[in-house]
Amino acid sequence: MQAKKIVLLCILVFLIALPSNAQSEVDQVGAAIQRYIDGTSYNDPELIMSAFYEDADMFLSKEGQEIWLMPVKEYASRFGNAEKGKHNGRTGKIISIEQQNDIALAKAEIEIPASSMKFIDVFILKRLSGEWKIISKAATRIE
């Protein structure tokens, strides 16, 4: 009888651990997106870069251009001219995350109230050397 209890306890612990492993991957993806959001909200180019694969490109919206391609290094540098650590009014929230094996797709809503702008950002992420990195971002402005 005691052996059955031990086996059942081991099975229960194993089943409880399964969702937490899967969840931890999603949490890590979310942490990468949150670094991007925090870096852009608090003028921190290094934090922005920490979320991205160093050669990532962004596909952005710009009036008069069908597509505006910008390397992440150039994008992050745009946040280096303001006071680092001071909130700039830009806010973001993660809307969704889908993760399969070593790739993930995430979506965030970004608002800049002072400019009456709102964007939807879509991110492609990949686990590289055990760490989740944004390898591409596309954004569109919404009304």
| 48 touches 72 (CB < 8 A) | yes
Residue 139's pLDDT is 96
Domain 2-142 sits in CATH 3.10.450.50 = yes
> Where in the chain are the domains?
2-142
Residue type, 60: L
Q: Quick one: which of 32, 48, 30 has its CA closest to 40?
A: 48
Q: For the residues of 86-97, what is the DSSP string, one character each?
A: S--S-EEEEEEE
Name the residue with tokens 């608090």. Answer: 42
Residue 135's pLDDT is 98
Residue 3's pLDDT is 59
pLDDT in tens, the chain (143 residues): 675 656 444 454 454 444 545 569 999 999 999 999 999 999 999 999 999 999 999 999 888 999 999 999 999 999 999 999 999 999 999 999 999 999 999 999 999 999 999 999 999 999 999 999 999 999 999 98
Residue 1's pLDDT is 61
